[in-house]
Structure 1
Amino acid sequence: MVVLSKEGLLNILEGNRRLTLRVVEAFPEKELFHYTPAGKLRPFAEMVKEVMNIETGYMRGIALGIWEFPDSFAVISTKEELVSACEAIRDETRKLWEEMTEETLGVVEKDPFFGPSQSHFDRLQYALENEIHHRGQGYIYLRTLGIEPPEFFVR
């Protein structure tokens, strides 16, 4: 019995990305790249770059068997570049998505980036949870800046 189809998962990923981009857009540009409410935290832009690196690494690994985890977005320094990169990565994900089957998502392998064996579906679930976690941090950052974050329920 399939509880969540491949297309259902993509729809969830898409809705979450739209919301993450709305959070990015809510930030003033300087604060997006430099603001943290406490010393050891990263600026929200750095978290978004991590989300994109994980998406790129997992999607290319699952669809093409190319397991690389480069920091492809380190040089991004403007909101426009960040939004554009997010959209480009998601476009690539949509293309690679066509290369995968639901059976592919069920394949269990050792994770080349983070260690334990898991299914490709579980990897994508981790990537989604990581994005949600960091987006939640973005909401807090916005509130500490006195900015009302986007409505959570609008995807």
Structure 2
Amino acid sequence: MAISKEELMEILEGNRRLTIRVIEAFPADKLFDYAPVEPLRPFSAMVKEILNVERAFMRGIAQDEWEYKDQFTDVSTKENLLESCEQVRAETRGLWKSVTEERLAEVMDDPFFNAPPQSHFERLQYSLENEIHHRGQGYIYLRMLGIEPPAFYIR
């Protein structure tokens, strides 16, 4: 069964709502500094990666502007990180209006990660899987800090 462009966006939105709840569960002093072992990164660094991937892919898919760079190096507070999540998602919502289902089906070489050619839909699926993966790490970090993470099934 294929999903529509609108159904894909709702999946992305539901996952982002859950990621935001994980950010909110972190104590402000642990969000940017806590990592259980080397070479793991603090959860904030993972969230910044999620946002950079989303921004780069959406600009590329919607505007054919393919550039990947860290836009969030100056984000250093929980409030700024949450604001960044909303800013990137607001930009995605705006760009999404111009993305057609035909555009999502287009296949091209990977512009950033040296992956094999893939469709733009697959590119967004990768972005979602990356977010889920890092959010799962956030769940483990919370548990290691003695904090009950948000219920997974509430989106």
Aligned to 2:42: 43
Q: After the TM superposition, which segments of 4 or more aligned residues of structure 1 sit over 3 Å from their partners?
A: none
Separation in structure 1 between the aligned mates of residue 52 and residue 2 of structure 2, nearest angstrom: 28
Letter in 2 for 1:135: R
What secondary structure sits across from 2:152 in the alignment?
coil
Separation in structure 2 between the aligned mates of residue 106 and residue 27 of structure 1, nearest angstrom: 38
Q: Cα distance, 1:141 vs. partner? A: 0.0
Aligned to 1:94: 93
Q: Cα distance, 1:70 vs. partner? A: 1.0
- Unaligned stretches of 5+ in structure 1? none
Aligned to 2:134: 134
Letter in 1 for 2:67: E
Counterpart mapping for 1:60-139 below 5 A: 60-115=59-114, 116-139=116-139
Aligned to 1:4: 3
Separation in structure 1 between the aligned mates of residue 110 and residue 85 of structure 2, nearest angstrom: 23
Equivalent residue pairs, number: 154
Q: Cα distance, 1:142 vs. partner? A: 0.1
What secondary structure sits across from 1:126 in the alignment?
helix
What secondary structure sits across from 2:32 in the alignment?
helix
Give CA-to-partner distance per residue, 1:114-145, whole Å, 9 cap, x none. Answer: 12210000000000000000000000000000
- Unaligned stretches of 5+ in structure 2? none
Separation in structure 2 between the aligned mates of residue 126 and residue 146 of structure 1, nearest angstrom: 30
Q: Cα distance, 1:10 vs. partner? A: 0.2
- Computed over aligned residues only, the root mean square deviation of the Cα atoms, in angstroms, reads 0.7
Letter in 2 for 1:146: G
Percent identity between the aligned chains? 63
TM-score (norm 1): 0.98
